[in-house]
Each structure stands twice: as structure tokens, then as C-alpha cells.
């Protein structure tokens, strides 16, 4: 689990296709300490939870499955590209953002970047299927960054990025038309699953036998 508080901006040293066809990333971690990292640990790279398969003091390697490549921007990642990094949350750590799983839901498109005093307003167009999970003043993860949805209008989500967040992440490299990873609030997803399950359970009770027993079916 992650919190959406970015620890460092890293750099892709290499992105290699393996003989099997999937991807191996080598990532330089910048200012993020690797002192407590172990093989098998999770690190979020632009919001995508990846497993450390090798590491040294300044970098780590991670496998990226074809499934992840197909549903993320990693299909077009290249050497020299900057990425947001966050190590998985340890028990007892301060919870600074919101619950982030590292399981990206989709890619959204940057449709506007507007100066707002010392901050920036960034508008994203999210896929229609994600609309129902987003609410004004609710949480959303963008390339691994925990942000607040200031306003939601149809498929457009307006975010406010304060100077500190802009300086400590890759957000200020965005341009209109760029694709970014988004993860909706996991609580919204589970609430939907719970409610749909209850509806399906009620619907399953309305069988011909049930209706006949209560005098509504002959």
C-alpha cells in the first residue's frame, strides 16, 4: 500500500524488452534512500506498483508484465524519462495522503494547465467508465501523486497543484495532450462492489418459485 506522497523523482536508465516480450526497467532513484529496500519490495513508479528484482545504492530493476504494459504508459517509456517514486508504506508510517494501491485504473488526458496564483490548475479528461468513482473534494491519484478533485464535470476533473507538489514531482513537465496514470479512491470501488452485490442478491430472490410461493406466479 502507498499514500501518494512522492519520495523522489527518478530517471529511467533503461527500458528493455526481454526475449519473452515483456519489459525490464532500470530506474535511478534520485534522492530516495535505498537503505531499507529488500528484494521483492514494492515501489510505485508513476503510481504503478512494481516489484524490486535487483537493486544497488542508487537504482533498482523491476519487471513489467505485458498486462501492465498494455494498460499503462509504460508501453512508450524510454531512457531519460523522469518518474515519480514512492516506496510501499511501512507499518507505523505517517499516513500523509490517502489509500493508494498502485493498481492504476486507466490513463487520463491532460486537457488544460492554468496558472492560479502560486498554484496550477490542471484539468484531466478521464475515461467515462471512471466518472462514477469521482466526487468533488474526493481523492484521486495522478502518476502516483495523491491529489484532491476540486471539481468534477462529466469526464473532466479539475485539480489544484500547490508549489511544493509541483517542485517535488513530475507534474510540471506535463503538456496538454499528455497521458497520465490515474487511480480512483479504492473505497469508492469497494462500496460499488458491495452495493452491486446486494442488488444482485435481491434480484436472485425473484425467481419463479419465489413468486409462485407468494401468490404472484402460476
CATH number of the domain where residue 74 is located: 2.40.30.20
Q: What per-residue confidence (pLDDT) applies to 156? A: 97
Q: What per-residue confidence (pLDDT) applies to 92? A: 73
Q: Are 129 and 106 in contact (CB under 8 A)?
A: yes
Q: Are 152 and 119 in contact (CB under 8 A)?
A: no
110 and 179 co-located in one domain: yes
**CA–centroid distance for 159 within its chain:** 15
Phi (first) and psi of residue 145, to 5 degrees: -95, 125
Domain count, the chain: 3
163 and 216 co-located in one domain: no
Q: Is residue 94 part of a domain?
A: no
pLDDT at 69 over 80: yes
Quickly state the pLDDT bin for 183 (edges 50, 70, 90).
very high
pLDDT at 177 over 90: yes
Quick one: which of 36, 38, 35, 65 has its CA closest to 50? Answer: 65
26 and 63 co-located in one domain: yes
Domain final residue, candidates 87, 120, 153: 87
154 and 178 co-located in one domain: yes
134 and 162 co-located in one domain: yes
pLDDT at 182 over 60: yes
Quick one: which of 133, 158, 131 has its CA closest to 147? Answer: 158
pLDDT at 203 over 80: no
Q: Is residue 179 part of a domain?
A: yes
pLDDT at 194 over 80: no
Q: What per-residue confidence (pLDDT) applies to 99? A: 86
200 and 174 co-located in one domain: no
67 and 137 co-located in one domain: no
28 and 68 co-located in one domain: yes
Q: Is residue 208 part of a domain?
A: yes
176 and 203 co-located in one domain: no
Q: Is residue 140 part of a domain?
A: yes
Q: Is residue 196 part of a domain?
A: yes
pLDDT at 215 over 80: no
41 and 81 co-located in one domain: yes
49 and 70 co-located in one domain: yes
Q: Is residue 95 part of a domain?
A: no
β-strand partners of 63: 24
Q: Is residue 101 part of a domain?
A: no
Q: pLDDT for 5-64, tens place per residue?
A: 999 999 999 999 988 889 999 999 999 999 999 999 999 999 999 999 999 999 999 999
69, HSE (Cβ side, Cα atoms, 13 Å): 18
Q: Is residue 77 part of a domain?
A: yes
Q: pLDDT for 74-101, tens place per residue?
A: 999 999 999 999 999 877 777 778 889 9
180 and 197 co-located in one domain: no
Domain final residue, candidates 55, 87, 119: 87
Domain span holding position 202: 188-218
pLDDT at 207 over 90: no
**Burial of 35 (C-beta count, 10 Å sphere; 0-12/13-18/19+):** exposed
Q: pLDDT for 97-139, tens place per residue?
A: 888 999 999 999 999 999 999 999 999 999 999 998 998 999 9
Q: What per-residue confidence (pLDDT) applies to 202? A: 55
Which residue reads 498502485 in cell numbers? 102
pLDDT at 201 over 60: no
Type and span of the H or E element at 182: strand 179-184
Amino acid at each position: 500500500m502507498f499514500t501518494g506522497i512522492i519520495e523522489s523523482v527518478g530517471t529511467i536508465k533503461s527500458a528493455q524488452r526481454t526475449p519473452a516480450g515483456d519489459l525490464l526497467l532500470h530506474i535511478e532513484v534520485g534522492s530516495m534512500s535505498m537503505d531499507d529496500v529488500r528484494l521483492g519490495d514494492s515501489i510505485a513508479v508513476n503510481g504503478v506498483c512494481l516489484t524490486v528484482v535487483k537493486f544497488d545504492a542508487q537504482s533498482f530493476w523491476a519487471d513489467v508484465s505485458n498486462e501492465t504494459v498494455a494498460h499503462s504508459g509504460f508501453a512508450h517509456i524510454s531512457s531519460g524519462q523522469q518518474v515519480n517514486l514512492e516506496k510501499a508504506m511501512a507499518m507505523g508510517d505517517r499516513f500523509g495522503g490517502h489509500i493508494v494501491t498502485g493498481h492504476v485504473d486507466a490513463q487520463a488526458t491532460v486537457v488544460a494547465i492554468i496558472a492560479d496564483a502560486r498554484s496550477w490548475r490542471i484539468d484531466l479528461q478521464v475515461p467515462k467508465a471512471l466518472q462514477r468513482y469521482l466526487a468533488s473534494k474526493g481523492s484521486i491519484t495522478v502518476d502516483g501523486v495523491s491529489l484532491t478533485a476540486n471539481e468534477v464535470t462529466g469526464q473532466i476533473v479539475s485539480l489544484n497543484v500547490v508549489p511544493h507538489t509541483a517542485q517535488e514531482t513530475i507534474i510540471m513537465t506535463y503538456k496538454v495532450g499528455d497521458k497520465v496514470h490515474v487511480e480512483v479512491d479504492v473505497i469508492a470501488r469497494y462500496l460499488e462492489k458491495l452495493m452491486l452485490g446486494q442488488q444482485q442478491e435481491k434480484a436472485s430472490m425473484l425467481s419463479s418459485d419465489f413468486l409462485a410461493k407468494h401468490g404472484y406466479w402460476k
